[in-house]
Structure 1
Amino acid sequence: MSHILVTGGAGFIGANFVLAWLSDKSADGVINVDKLTYAGNRKTLASVDDDPRHVFSQTDICDRAALDELLTTYRPRAVLHFAAESHVDRSIHGPAEFIQTNIVGTFTLLEAVRAYWSGLEDVAKADFRFLHVSTDEVFGSLGPADHQFSETTPYAPNSPYSASKAASDHLVRAYHHTYGLPVLTTNCSNNYGPYHFPEKLIPLMITNALMGKPLPVYGDGQNVRDWLYVRDHCSAIREVLARGRPGETYNVGGWNEKTNLDVVHTLCDLLDQFKPKANGSYRDQITFVKDRPGHDRRYAIDARKLERELGWKPAETFESGLGKTVQWYLDNQPWVEDVMSGEYRNWVAKQYAA
């Protein structure tokens, strides 16, 4: 059986990718590598536990020996690198883990993959791909009238998280130009959708609203993000893997610029429609909290290169994707309750104490 190897495949985007990939019964097998930190959840993958094409390995990408063994055993035709510490707020409180996973981990993975790829036969070597999944946050912050981020926008990261992801992007690029490793890089905008850990804006607002808790909005709520439904992101990654040009970078965006306050208002209105409160609106729970340090004002992705070269466009509008997301959280409360551990609750209490 032919395989692909996916790192971070129990996290939000990685798990959605694995589930979408394996929904195609003719697809390659998946070697799913995840350290299972707080945001990795095996229960997200419950529907593929009995699929013989899915092999799960609880492995740290900083463990070179374990990576070598997996690559030698399964001989994947591609490696898709989702694994990362991924939350700006957590990187502010504890940057060391971000340096270790996002920089050292990516370097260790690249070294293991380079050694494996170098030993492949000519045809397999030419067909092999290493796809690195990154973020628009590496480009820094935009002003209200600035053009969206393109693939040629200079890097200007403003948080330990985005700086660590920028470093990983540069390593991936260097391994292509120095060693010839056939790499692809995608830089995506803010994802949302099923199985999202409830510290991020959209799932946090949904879970707090349903629990009758305050809906904390940073600063004035006017920070702008471009929102991308996670299943659309997964379809873009499949297109880049199949037809992207080695060495190229592709921006993946949803063409949905919204202020944080607009997002929260829309969520409240959807919840008012899907699960009305006995009295009043969920908007009544909105509260403004002290802005976080170094909070970038605006992100926006220009995804025209991906559309022009590979014909990809998002299938969901913000409204349709958000409606599906809210309905998923309403239908899957046991999953939400399971991931809301004491560690998570303690972190939220500290983060939004002001």
Structure 2
Amino acid sequence: MKYLITGGAGFIGSNFIHYLFGKYPDCEIVNLDKLTYAGNLDNLKAYEGDLRYTFIHSDIANPKAVEEAMRDVDIVVNFAAESHVDRSILGPDEFIQTNVVGTQVLLDAAEKHKKRFHHISTDEVFGHIPLDEHYKFDEQTKFDPRSPYAASKAASDHLVSAYYNTYGLEATISNCSNNFGPYQNPEKFIPRAITNVLEGKPVPIYKPGNQIRDWLHVEDHCKAIDLVLQKGKAGETYCVGGQTSEISNKQVAMKILQIMGKDESMLKEVADRPGHDVKYAVDWSKLKKELGWAPQHSFEDWLSKTVEWYVKNESWWKPLKAGVEKFYFKLGR
């Protein structure tokens, strides 16, 4: 089997490449990545010179590059996306170009060459849930994006569905909750908290710290994607989440501090972002019922493993950290 992985140098994409080679050692992978700030070839050093692996430095919005990359593959998995809400607020243009136009270019090529297509999306397309409500997002939830990032992903989801309905493209979509784990850029909440503690810096929490997320370890996510590719039904959407109980961002930060032997004095409240969604919760019962998926470990176990990874891999995250903090300094956070 030969895969085209777009955005394969990013956090989730590179973890999926590691997963595929681990589970299917005879597979071949083409990785097409633009290498924005979020793409990092150090994530995939293990495959430099590996004949099973080909890297193409290009943009999914480049029709010629996409055409060449897709020609000989069997399956396309689209991870390529601009994905940071704060950055989408500062500059929506790149999000529209990559997440909407880029997806359309991929779909055109996939339809032309009759490829199996899977699109990675986010639960943020559904909007947010009031803190005092206890329902969860599922595959029937109406889209209500609240940031330029979420709106661009909602548009791309609609495009994928339209290509299935209009052209019969063998396509599926998965909407995942907040991922964490190895190789995640330290701009994100959990790795930023961990690396700040390692550097002796405060852990910033958006006020008032009661925001709730549904945390999904990236390895569990990779297994879910594989199951959708193997058993999923064309035209279907699958929600992927990791939590069985609610946990606030402040509680997550406290768990990290506890794991690392620190106390609450290292927390620092910072100004909230504009339009900050207060709560996400994902109902992943369809994925469990139809495909047999469930998280391998508890959130606490995965969080401990994630802390351990960042402790052992300072040489990976340290070069990225200065740029991250410069960005947040501009935001006053």
8 Å Cα contact 2:110/2:116 also seen in 1:
no
Partner Cα separation in structure 1 for residue 192 and residue 243 of structure 2:
23
2:249 is the alignment partner of 1:271: no
Equivalent in the alignment of 1:47:
46
Deviation at 1:282, TM superposition (A): 4.4
Instruction: Give the conservation status (yes or no) of the 8 Å contact 1:219–1:288.
Output: yes
Report the equivalent of 1:275: none
* Deviation of 1:51 (Å): 2.2
Equivalent residue, structure 2, for 1:225: 213
Matches of 1:163 and 1:102 in 2, distance apart?
10
TM-score (norm 2): 0.97
Match of 1:261 in 2: 250
The aligned counterpart of 1:19 is 18
Q: CA deviation at 1:284?
A: 1.4
Secondary structure of the structure 1 residue equivalent to 2:18: helix
Is 1:244–1:310's contact at 8 Å kept on the other side of the alignment?
Answer: yes
Specify the alignment match of 1:348 in structure 2.
328
- Quote the Cα distance in structure 2 between the aligned partners of 1:22 and 1:339: 26
2:274 pairs with 1:285: no
Deviation at 1:345, TM superposition (A): 3.0
Q: CA RMSD in A?
A: 1.2
Which amino acid in the other structure matches residue 142 of structure 1? I
Instruction: Write the letter of the residue equivalent to 1:302.
Output: D
Match of 2:171 in 1: 183
How far apart, in 2, do the equivalents of 1:153 and 1:349 lie? Answer: 36
Q: How does 1:1-354 map to 2 (within 5 A)?
A: 2-72=1-71, 75-117=72-114, 128-143=115-130, 144-256=132-244, 257-272=246-261, 281-341=262-322, 343-351=323-331, 353=332
Deviation track 1:151-190 (CA, whole Å, cap 9, x = no partner) reads 0000000000000000000000000000000100000000
Q: Which runs of 5+ in 2 are unaligned?
A: none
Cα displacement (A) at 1:24: 2.7
Q: What letter matches 1:233 in structure 2?
A: H
Count of residues in correspondence between the two structures: 331
Contact 1:8 1:33 survives alignment (8 Å): yes
Deviates more, 1:140-149 or 1:257-266: 140-149
| Cα contact 1:80–1:131 (8 A) shared by 2 | yes
**Cα deviation digits, residues 62-86 of structure 1 (max 9, x gap):** 10011111222xx111100000000
Instruction: Give SS of 2:36's match.
Output: coil
Going from structure 1 to structure 2, the CA distance change for 1:333 and 1:112 (only over 3 Å counts) comes to same
Matched-pair contact (CA < 8 Å) for 2:125–2:151:
yes
Task: Answer yes or no: is the 8 Å Cα contact 1:19–1:48 preserved in 2.
Answer: no
In 2, Cα distance between equivalents of 1:112 and 1:239? 24
Aligned-residue offset at 1:23: 1.3
Question: What CA deviation, in whole Å up to 9, does each residue of 1:276-299 have, x standing for no partner?
Answer: xxxxx3431211111110001100
SS in structure 2 of the partner of residue 23 of structure 1: helix
Alignment-mate amino acid for residue 346 of structure 1: K
SS in 2 for 1:258: coil
Per-residue CA shift, 1:113-137, capped at 9, x if unaligned?
Answer: 11122xxxxxxxxxx4100000000
Q: CA deviation at 1:25?
A: 4.8
**Structure 2 CA distance for aligned equivalents of residues 43 and 129 of structure 1:** 28
The one-letter amino acid of 2:320's match is V
Q: Look up the equivalent residue of 1:295 and give its one-letter code.
A: H
Larger Rg belongs to: 1
Q: Does 170-179 or 25-34 show the bigger shift?
A: 25-34
1-side partners of 2:80 and 2:297: how far apart? 25
Task: In structure 2, give the amino acid aligned to 1:266.
Answer: K
TM-score, normalised by the number of residues in structure 1: 0.91
The answer to whether the 8 A contact 1:21-1:27 is kept is no
Unaligned 5+ runs, structure 1: 118-127, 273-280
Secondary structure in 1 matching 2:208: coil
